[in-house]
Structure 1
Amino acid sequence: MSMKLKREDGVGETPGNDGGLVRQAHKLTIDLSTPSRAIYWIDLTLTATAAWGGLALTATTHSLAAGLVAGLVGLLALYRGLSFIHEISHLRPKDVPGFRLGWNLLFGVPLMTPSMMYEGVHNLHHAKQRFGTARDPEYLPLERYSAFKLALFTAISLLAPLGVILRSGILIPLSFVFPGVRRLVKTKLSALVINPDFVREDNDKTRPDWLAQELGCWLWCWGVAAATVAGFVPVRVVLTWFALFSLATFVNQLRTLVAHYWHNDGEMMSFEDQFLDSVNVPPPAMLPFLWAPVGLRYHALHHLLPRLPYHNLGKAHARLSAQLAATSPYHRVEEKGLFVALAKLFRRAGVSTSPLAVKADAIERQSA
């Protein structure tokens, strides 16, 4: 009888085929598992400055060239700032004290996308018994989607700002009056997911900090609306916020399309198969620094070692690439860039993938 060792974030490590790669990777990177508080805070502060400074300049300048440059900087910084929600879902409070609060004040509440919408949800994506199944909040068999359905899946992300406005400005206040609305908000509208069938557990014991985040988003939404109506906040500022936020979520949706190979169709997978379904886009490609920020370019490595902080993933990848055997599964999950990976996904779109085809694809990637 084999003994299973329970890992953090719900990932089960089984000695033998499943656990071998994990143990090797953990042994080679054990010294990289401590988050640097200074890096987290400096990165967040600079990112927030660029995001809101870029938005402000875009919304006020009369120069087209300056507006375009500031808009691009604001867009990329806003997207980077949003991406920290992924790190927060893995950080323990003692790792970087106050970081969750700081992020919510700088990004979570102003974008009405507080950390509670990802905490306790993203971690389920890492659970070995859930990954790739109908109980996974962040997995769909996208490889089996038609090209049109993939395009629609991507385009719908442009409506994210409208969604958070409706949730924060209308549904949250109503939820405190009508129990049915409260139940809907808590189970279906309080989780950042791609699986539309995912239902968050309805726990009546709401955490005080999560309640504070919801109240903050509600008051922010109403406050900005009132200030805009009163003329204190120019409409152009609100429209610029909407546009940059919309584009940021669109870029994130493109990144999501290439975060996995999306081979699975609801069946439970071994840990190695889960890893092989995930994607790294490492150097020498440079653009992933922009479209997969805060370590998201090393998505497969993150699934292998979810406790590694984002600022050490590059070091860990270089070390594993150099020291793991050429036959290791670790070398089978690399893509060269966003458009290359997107093109592969759209070529596979709608094609039924048998287990043999999946295995053949893995062999092809290994030989490449």
Structure 2
Amino acid sequence: MIAQDVTEQPRPSPRAEPSERIATTWHSQIPDDKEMLRAAVELTRDISEARAAIYWPDMLGSALLGYAALAGAILLQNPLVALACGIFSALMLYRALLFIHELTHIHKDALPGFRFVWNLLVGIPMMIPSFMYEGVHTQHHARTRYGTNDDPEYMPLALMKPWSLPVFALTAILLPLALLVRSAILVPLGVIVPPLRKLVWERASALSINPQYRRRKPEGDFARMVFWQELGASVWTISVLAASYLYGWRPLIIALCVISFTAFLNQVRTLVAHLWENDGEAMTVTAQYLDSVNVPPPALLSPLWAPVGLRFHALHHLLPSMPYHSLGECHRRLSTHLGANSTYEQASYKGLMTLLTRLARSTMQAR
């Protein structure tokens, strides 16, 4: 009866502009669109395998280009050229870093060695080993957790104060410094101070945005993986600090600035990954889909600010295990099969600025 009362409330037209859709929790218990859910599975089975020939060159190329450009930003004397190198480095390292999202979803045997190499080249040097997302992000996809207080990656941003948006985005700039302190100081100290080790694990070992989230102690094989990744990150950060003390701080400062920009880009992307309209209720799968965002073609810049398939974030919530390189074809098939006025098309938006404007207007109407 409660679900019926909710779904009887006026529902915005699927063709309405984003600015006309008012932030609300009306859709938390919307009945599942079974045709869409069935089509998402049946029409995409043949493209659901992760292809090593795409993953490896993409990740390795992004990382190597990012580090080469970072070297240019550090070594080149022309300020404008160095700045351009720094921006390009941030974009490439951003793409390389976001393969952490793929690591949480692909089968452990799908790409042998990929996790190890990614951590060696990207995760540990950028102070974000894969354990900080693995075991966390999957909770965001849990049917009964999404959008609730138990979701580590959800905050009802659309229902919060307008000033919360710039604060949310700008705090990411401090992330690299916090990660440096974490791996170089807090983790080693935690070896001899158990309460500190427990605190760091629970509160500072997950890429989460929910301040209420507390991470559970790792167990089994995952605990062993965490140990080696933590050790690698601590050895790396301590070595970088020691080298900076001996040979100068300029390279480290420039590298931290590049990583800060990368973190800021990711935080802005996070702002528009969902509509953030749910206020703690458990949601149906279709409701979760409608609270998520696709920015499909013809949006030209979305592959830059939402790389590695994340411009199809709503579709990803329908098919969490679908490899990033197949999402564009999945979108084409579902759009063609379900039609322009379908539930599926309601999650598609025009671009970044449209979504940011919509979110800002929602915060102004919410309180």
- TM, length-normalised to structure 2: 0.89
Measure the CA separation in 1 of the matches of 2:181 and 2:239.
14
The corresponding residue for 2:10 is none
Can you give the 5+ residue segments of structure 1 that lack an aligned partner in the other structure? 1-15, 354-368
Q: Matched residues in 1 for 2:342 and 2:329: separation?
A: 18
C-alpha distance after superposition, 1:16-50 (max 9, x if no partner) = 83543221111111111001011111001110111
Query: What is the distance in 2 between the residues matched to 1:349 and 1:311?
Result: 34
Residues 274-305 of structure 1 deviation map (CA, whole Å, 9 limit, x = unaligned): 11000000111111111000000000000010
1:257 Cα offset (Å): 0.7
Deviations 1:127-167 (A, max 9, x none): 01000000000100100112211111111111000110111
- 1:328 Cα deviation after fit: 2.2
Q: 1:160 pairs with 175, 192, 199, which one?
A: 175
Asked if 1 retains the 8 angstrom alpha-carbon contact of 2:33 and 2:343, the reply is: no
Cα distance in 1 for partners of 2:55, 2:155 equals 31
Instruction: Say if 2:203 is the partner of 1:188.
Output: yes
Report the counterpart of residue 28 of structure 2 in structure 1.
none
> 3-state SS of the aligned residue for 1:336?
coil
**Alpha-carbon deviations, 1:196-254, whole Å to 9, x = none?**
110111246562121100000100011011111121xx422111110010011111111
Choose between structure 1 and 2 for higher RCO, CA contacts under 8 A separated by at least 6 residues. Answer: 2
Equivalent in 134, 137, 143 of residue 152 of structure 2: 137
**Structure 1 counterpart of 2:215:** 200
Other-structure match for 1:275:
289
Name which of 230, 244, 261 aligns with 1:214: 230
SS of residue matched to 1:207: helix
The equivalent of 1:37 in structure 2 is 52
Amino acid in structure 2 at the alignment position of 1:341: L
Are the counterparts in 2 of residues 260 and 279 from structure 1 also a CA contact under 8 Å?
A: yes
CA distance in 2, matches of 1:270, 1:39: 33
* C-alpha distance in structure 2 between counterparts of 1:40 and 1:203, whole Å: 28
Moved over 4 A (4+): none
Gaps of 5+ in 2: 1-30
Q: Does residue 332 of structure 1 match 2:360?
A: no
Letter in 1 for 2:237: C
Is 2:86 aligned against 1:71? yes
Alpha-carbon distance in structure 1 between the residues aligned to 2:108 and 2:86 = 34
Relative distance call for 1:19 and 1:202 in structure 2 (3 A) is: farther
CA distance in 2, matches of 1:286, 1:106: 29
Partner SS state of residue 146, structure 1: coil
Report the Cα distance in structure 2 between the residues aligned to 1:97 and 1:351, rounded to whole angstroms.
Answer: 49
Work out the number of aligned pairs and report it: 336
Give distance in 2, aligned partners of 1:351 and 1:169. 44
Partner deviation per Cα, 1:106-141 (whole Å, 9 max, x = no partner)? 111001110000000000000010000000001001
Given that 2:183 and 2:233 are in contact with CA atoms closer than 8 Å, whether structure 1 keeps it comes out as yes
**2:9 aligned residue:** none
Residue 133 of structure 2: aligned partner: 118
- Secondary structure at 1:132 match in 2: coil
Contact 1:22 1:305 (8 Å CA) reproduced:
no
The secondary structure found in structure 2 opposite 1:176 is helix
Distance 1:80 1:190 in 2: 21
Identity among equivalent pairs (%) = 45
Contact 2:174–2:260 (Cα < 8 Å) also in 1? yes
SS in structure 1 at match of 2:213 = coil
Q: Could you tell me which amino acid in structure 2 is paired with residue 329 of structure 1?
A: T
Which whole-Å CA distance do the structure 2 matches of 1:203 and 1:341 have between them? 37
The Cα shift of 1:256 comes to 0.6
